Amino acid sequence: MDTVKLTKLAECAGCGAKVGAGELVKLLGDLPLHTDERLLVGYDRSDDASVYKISDELAIVQTVDFFPPIADDPFRFGAIAAANAMSDIYAMGGEPRLALNVMAVPEDMPRETVHEILRGGYTKVYEAGAIITGGHSIYDKEPKYGMAVTGFVHPEKLLTNAGAKPGDVLIYTKPVGAGVLTTGIKAEMVSKETAEELEQLMMTLNRGARDIMVKYRVHACTDVTGFGLMGHLLEMAQGSDTEVHIRPDRFQLLPQAVELAEMGILPAGMYRNRHFAEAFVDVGDTPLPIQDLMFDPQTSGGLMIAADPQDADALLRELSSSPDVPAACMVGEVAAYTGGSRIYLA
């Protein structure tokens, strides 16, 4: 297994391989849209997962996510992919319960490597309190792994990315810069210590942040992944018919992220995200490398929480004191839409 460099087998790493949000709009635009009164959230909402009401007490939350290797270690690749897939459930305020493996592997990949990818996924799912019940695998020249996940949520406690209200405080729960760093790792420009910190971060479940978040008055939430901070915040602002004001200097940034961005070591997904969202973003005087990090695709990123201003300080304190939450940063606020840009960087 030591001779298999998984990231060398993939053109793009992790969520940086996602089809751009702008392209997705075009691909889905002409498809027929069926409605059902029990479908609380569908793909027309640009949300993290679909939600279907079973009863007044129960709704199911469904999502699927998979991607090419984000780490050379197969166990860690599997664990990161699983944490990333389950994150959509946490962002909706739900709890994952069932998972199905989705896997593509080269025919000549060593059996031990495939086993370790799966073991990483199983370990992380069991940590979340869910179970894996099956899956599907195919042969492909480029390895890919992820999961289809089903979770549960009370219909009245469901969170979407479209519920933000003017006055809400925005809190983010992980450091930023994963896409830039994974690009730097492929170019062998990142220290072992920083690479280790990044992989540990991506393997961290958003369960801890979710468990704290649901105790407070939260109006909207989304997990930040392949579309980057600006892409996911744009979906929140448009879905809520609001605008957001962001302080880039308040985000916790991963070591070497700014340095690599200054050198132009940027993933292709950053350019796709910028192309999609920049027309709606007023960057102000924000330096270009910091702008790039705001558009940087994140893999297994944190939760972006729009909290009621009366609860925001208490929520931030509890998140900050939890060993299960990598970061807790008050990064901006939501305001009434005044026309023009949807996101303002200050």
CATH number of the domain residue 28 falls in: 3.30.1330.10
3-state DSSP of 295-327: HCCCCCCCEEEEECCCCHHHHHHHHHHCCCCCC
Residues 134 and 179 in one domain: no
Q: Indicate the residue among 110, 128, 157 that finishes a domain.
A: 157
Show the tokens assigned to 292.
């790039």
Q: Indicate the residue among 130, 157, 184 that finishes a domain.
A: 157
Would you say residue 163 lies in a domain?
no
* Cα angle for residues 68, 161, 153 (degrees, 5° grid): 85
Nearest of 342, 320, 324, 318 to residue 332 by alpha carbon: 342
**Count of structural domains within the chain:** 2
> Active site residue: 12, 15, 221, 329, which one?
15
* Cα angle for residues 87, 88, 89 (degrees, 5° grid): 90
Would you say residue 310 lies in a domain?
yes
Would you say residue 44 lies in a domain?
yes
Residues 59 and 206 in one domain: no
Q: Which residue has the tokens 């699927």?
A: 64
How does 140-149 read in b/e, with b if 16+ C-beta sit within 10 Å? eeebbbbbbb
Q: Indicate the residue among 157, 187, 206 that finishes a domain.
A: 157
Range of the domain at 213: 169-345
Would you say residue 162 lies in a domain?
no
Would you say residue 90 lies in a domain?
yes
Residues 219 and 166 sit within 8 Å (Cβ to Cβ):
no
Would you say residue 284 lies in a domain?
yes
Residues 300 and 338 in one domain: yes
Catalytic, 15? Answer: yes
Residues 94 and 223 in one domain: no
CATH number of the domain residue 233 falls in: 3.90.650.10
Residues 51 and 156 sit within 8 Å (Cβ to Cβ):
no
Residues 295 and 224 sit within 8 Å (Cβ to Cβ):
no
Residues 250 and 142 in one domain: no
Quote the pLDDT of residue 5: 73
Helix axis angle, 288-295 to 268-277, nearest 10°:
90
Would you say residue 184 lies in a domain?
yes
Residues 137 and 280 in one domain: no
Residues 217 and 84 in one domain: no
Under DSSP, is residue 84 helix (H, G, I), strand (E, B) or coil? helix
Amino acid present at 251: F
Residues 285 and 307 in one domain: yes
Residues 149 and 110 in one domain: yes
From first to last of its 346 residues, what are the pLDDT tens digits of the chain? 445 677 776 666 555 555 555 555 666 667 777 778 999 998 776 777 899 999 999 999 999 999 999 999 999 999 999 999 999 999 999 999 999 999 999 999 999 999 999 999 999 999 999 999 999 999 999 999 999 999 999 999 999 999 999 999 999 999 999 999 999 998 899 999 999 999 999 999 999 999 999 999 999 999 999 999 999 999 999 999 999 999 999 999 999 999 999 999 999 999 999 999 999 999 999 999 999 999 999 999 999 999 999 999 999 999 999 999 999 999 999 999 999 999 999 9
Question: CA-to-CA distance for 85 and 135, rounded, in angstroms?
Answer: 14
**Does the pTM of the predicted model rise above 0.75?**
yes
Would you say residue 36 lies in a domain?
yes
Show the tokens assigned to 231.
């892409």
Residues 134 and 194 in one domain: no
Residues 258 and 211 in one domain: yes
Quote the pLDDT of residue 1: 42
Residues 245 and 121 in one domain: no
